[in-house]
Structure 1
């Protein structure tokens, strides 16, 4: 991950192209630092070509002077003077070519070693190879391979013909990936004069540009060339310590100091200004409690710890940034890791083409492609006919509720000259459900910790049976209201995890009969009560997230749907929904969060309406889609404007969100067919070629870890599906207001020295950010979290629990 040190100012040097003078200008920076009596370090991660032409040798030759502290080195050297990926392929050491992770770790290790040897303010320059999109050893372009390090950048512009374009294109490529660009250096060219255009261009964007006189044309005689280059550097970096390169040093030092000061001030400024969601500010006792996120990549935040180091008197050579595992997948949004370049480019592509455009009675390609994809190929396949766009999961659920209630009212309200919305309708749901924090979505839940003064619960909520692993036994726990009808049983053994989720096989079990009788009896009582009139069934399939990671028995949800659909009134002759419209809230569980594309095939039934968000856009920006069957749509379809679904959002079908969603789905579907997932499924005994593979349950968390976790004294029960891990801490008080899970796992916040060097990008030991739901702790992976990271996270969780 990114490194930031108080006494070691680091800059990475990228070139807008090959042959733009990157090594010469980097050497000048190194020489200027040395001439200012500042210890300076030069790193060339990859060098190709003859050793006599190596860039680190050039630096050693021309940046040194008597008594000056200059250290130059190269990490990976290849003889062929070609692109690094090709040089590695042509070498006799092809088997030793590092992966991107190993390559970045080698660079990060070198930075850390340098920092640990630094006792006074020092400089370090890391020079890349070729242009910004030149491949690294693995073939990944440099701009992506180096991104986990997130080092401030010096861009060397192109003074040649066409150099304005290559320089600006390089700048934009860096910008799209979040790089901080502190300085642009380039040669003056008396003919093309690119610098005259680029200086005001970058100045308008707040970036300093320093044009410098170019060197002479290279001489054939090595001795003469060495002499002339020495004269050139003496002019570029004079003994007077005045001029352009020294101005550049001062500017880079100021940029470094400004960045550290900004990060250091953020905790107090945040405490003075921000009102966080779901946080009791009275419990945030000091600025050191605030998590300052400087950047993020893959599964990790890069967090500032300088304000914490002051309190602990940590050594000044320690990095002010450290990696932190994003244990909640940033509130369940992350799908393929933070700052994924494909998603960023998709967002830029749509923003550049559309910005945002009005959607009613209009269309655009990203929205149409996404709608067709979701309806015909995705979660709506086989039942949905329409896609309605909104802003986020909560608003998507409000759309769903409006759809369902209107559909019910249209079928069950006597015809009147002027239709008026019915105010006496409610929903049937489950206790512990949560559908968002907008007022209407809150009204679709029972009274609880998330509701507010305006909350007016409109419906009835059943207490559901749950699935969990208790000390190695997979059991269904029945609520007291149901246990009394099941011969007093409170728990039922259901064999393995696979057997628990084999709904079709369980439909003829005695427990299914218990469920049917319980639901039928409840519906009868509700009908007799009459108010509110139940008009829709709303479910979070399989897992109710915010309610405490409640893994509902899928058999119960299937039986509940079957009984509801068999109840009066029956559908009209042309088909459509029956009994009550059924809504699936798949905002949390959809798009493989649980290892399944959608939950309908596992339950063996499809909804009439479903809602999708979060993973839909890979965690990059908010977007929601509500899918509906044709019979639901027809309830709004007429010649009267008043019959229309009069609901909308200014950013309906936001082109940027739709384009990102299309890109996300393409990546996710490839992951679902990847070797990584095949290996994870195999650990749970699943062969993807089997017919049951579409509905078989599995997890990216390993079976042996789950077994060890269930047997710990501190743990009451455990469940996992797909990316999700949840376990309940043994706590007599329990509930959402408990702090037991938070306290037991507190040690996870800090990095440990025992982790392997490949645990996080850059190889640094990492801490873990996590959130709890009272006595329930949960952790979430991305869909592409590496097996190495999974193993490290599992080990740390076990160690934290075993120490209590």
Structure 2
């Protein structure tokens, strides 16, 4: 991941084009750094062309009188003067036989990272490093990936060498914007001073207005064919450009780069204190935050990892980077779909922002919103949904779902209700449910740790039977309310596929028991005149915030059928599926409807919808729900909305995210994971990215009460004395995971090296979540860490 060292200032040199003087200007920077008595490291990751013309050889040749303090290297060298991705292919062909695979981006970036680490560990005095790229910012690396994306995991501060030739203004600005779109820190722009085109004058003003340092340097003399004469002429140029008197633009540039490095560290160092003085965190008891060390400072993020600031890293005898990789073990509160900072999503957001910004939506339309609505109606809404309503996030999406359901119930039932009777309408659901933090969504749940002083529970919630692995066996656990005594009953299944084969289980005695229990209790609730039930609200399959509760799908299927039974409800209760957490393949399938065998009347999608980039929610409804609001009177309309309804940026990102997810569902990684869970079936409805043998083994540990996994989600419930949400048991038990573990094993973090794990817990329940494209290597590393900690833990 990112590299930042106290004593080693690193900058990566990108060019706005080929032949803009990257190596010449880098040589000048190196000479200036050396004259300031700094040790200097130069790295050219990839070089193509004749060795004598290589950039690292030029650097060594003209490093100046202090060249003994220079360490210059090239990692991948190819003889053909072509683009790196072609050079590696041509080199392989020359060896005869089939073309060898190109080095992967992972191999490439790990090689660069390891080189940086070795140089940094050897330093105990101030030093500079320059990493020079090849060609322009989008020139390909060995694999063919554009340089900007290939190098991005390292997140090195950048120097952009501008283009002083005709057309250079455009290429320089375009290159800067390409760097900015990918989050790069551009500390300076350097270019030659050409008195004819005078690009430097325009670019200096343009970038200075944006707070970017620009330096213009004298151009080099023309190349002379005679090598000896050319050396003398070039050396004279560098002596004038980088004089011994330590004066001039190049020294100002070096001083500026040093200042940027120092300021970045100072700002990171100050952030914990400033945060404690200014921020009120969600779901955090500030009384338990004892010191600045308890604040996680995230400098950047890439793929499945945060890059966090760790002050202790720079204080060892062999200093490591102040920035350490930390796995985002909760997928950033369940939002990540394809990893952090994905360039495809960043470009989609920028495109929509540039085209629309935000525009009013009532009685209007724009292409990103229209395409997204149509896509969702033919995706998770296929076969039942006719309309899509946009809102801000999962909680507001559920608020509007409740409004829709209540109005629809009143209209379809034909009841003439007084205002107090309308206010007392209730919902039926499950204990442990959670639909967001807005007050209306909270009222659709029973009172609990998330509710506020105004909370007024409006409904009834059944305690559900649950699915998990207990001591290596797949079990459906029935709560005492379903068993008729004080003890929990457990039914054992051959495998998870049997549990989630709902159609087959509908014929089982347990299905009859569920139906009898629900009908009896709901009939009793109907006879209670204090509250009329008007909707069924479910988190299908898994209730997230309530404790990662995997509900028996058979129970939920029968709940839906019971509330649609005309003998119990002359007007069927509208059914709401809260799929904010579970929807769009978080659990390995697009929607819960096909798995349960029944579709809702209303459903809500959010979180994964925009790939974790922006807040956006979509509430889909059947035509029956929509018609309940349609009339000639405006007051009958759905008078609900948000200022940023259907914001084009979010809709555009959502469309691109869904495109990417479509591709992932057909990937080898998905197929392989699916087959691990159901090797005898062509495609299993239920599967997980987590290894089935790992899950079984974890569930057998004495300290584990139960464990469960579906899709990206892994949940482990520990046997402890202080269970419940207020418990800190799971947090304390896994505390050592937060720090990097350097056990010598190969790391799956970008750039290699050990990584810590950022995770969230729900009392005595620990959960971990991947993105939809997390590598198997990363998951295996996390499984190994979990096994090592949990298998050695003791019961409290």
The TM-score normalised by the length of structure 1 is 0.96
Number of the residue aligned with 2:284: 279
Aligned partners of 1:360, 1:347: CA distance in 2, in Å? 22
1:698 aligns with 2:687: yes
Number of the residue aligned with 1:723: 712
Secondary structure (helix, strand or coil) at the match of 1:95 reads coil
1:238 aligns with 2:243: yes
**Cα 1:722/1:748, change in 2 over 3 Å:** same
1:511-522 to 2 correspondence within 5 Å? 511-522=510-521
Number of the residue aligned with 2:310: 305
Secondary structure (helix, strand or coil) at the match of 1:357 reads coil
Cα RMSD (Å): 1.6
Number of the residue aligned with 2:532: 533
1:47-446 to 2 correspondence within 5 Å? 47-65=47-65, 68-92=68-92, 95=100, 97-306=102-311, 308-309=312-313, 313-315=315-317, 317-376=319-378, 378-414=379-415, 422-446=422-446
Q: Deviations over 1:362-421 (max 9, x none)?
A: 000000000000012x110010000000000000000000000000011224469x9998
**8 Å contact 1:101–1:758 — kept in the other structure?**
no
Secondary structure (helix, strand or coil) at the match of 1:91 reads helix
Q: CA deviation at 1:755?
A: 5.2
1:592-671 to 2 correspondence within 5 Å? 592-671=585-664
1:501-512 to 2 correspondence within 5 Å? 501-512=500-511
Number of the residue aligned with 2:546: 547
Q: CA deviation at 1:95?
A: 2.8
**8 Å contact 2:473–2:696 — kept in the other structure?**
no
**8 Å contact 1:3–1:151 — kept in the other structure?**
yes
Aligned partners of 1:720, 1:609: CA distance in 2, in Å? 26
Q: CA deviation at 1:803?
A: 2.4
Aligned partners of 1:686, 1:592: CA distance in 2, in Å? 20
1:742 aligns with 2:741: no
Q: Which moved more, 1:394-403 or 1:748-757?
A: 748-757
Secondary structure (helix, strand or coil) at the match of 2:423 reads coil
**Cα 1:625/1:497, change in 2 over 3 Å:** same
Q: Which moved more, 1:726-735 or 1:159-168?
A: 726-735
Q: CA deviation at 1:718?
A: 0.4
Secondary structure (helix, strand or coil) at the match of 1:782 reads coil
Q: Deviations over 1:206-250 (max 9, x none)?
A: 000000110112222222222211111111111111111111111
Number of the residue aligned with 1:575: none
Q: CA deviation at 1:739?
A: 1.2
Aligned partners of 2:167, 2:321: CA distance in 1, in Å? 40
**8 Å contact 1:539–1:584 — kept in the other structure?**
yes
**Cα 1:777/1:419, change in 2 over 3 Å:** closer
Q: CA deviation at 1:68?
A: 3.9
Q: CA deviation at 1:495?
A: 2.0
Aligned partners of 2:526, 2:26: CA distance in 1, in Å? 79
**8 Å contact 2:466–2:549 — kept in the other structure?**
yes
Number of the residue aligned with 2:23: 23
Q: CA deviation at 1:20?
A: 0.2
Secondary structure (helix, strand or coil) at the match of 1:794 reads helix
Q: CA deviation at 1:579?
A: 1.7
Aligned partners of 2:745, 2:150: CA distance in 1, in Å? 20
**8 Å contact 2:49–2:81 — kept in the other structure?**
yes
Aligned partners of 1:509, 1:755: CA distance in 2, in Å? 52
Number of the residue aligned with 2:762: 773
**Cα 1:505/1:755, change in 2 over 3 Å:** farther
Aligned partners of 2:503, 2:727: CA distance in 1, in Å? 37
Q: Which runs of 5+ in 2 are unaligned?
A: none
Q: Which moved more, 1:707-716 or 1:72-81?
A: 707-716
**8 Å contact 1:102–1:758 — kept in the other structure?**
no
Aligned partners of 2:569, 2:559: CA distance in 1, in Å? 16
Query: How many residues align structurally?
Result: 788
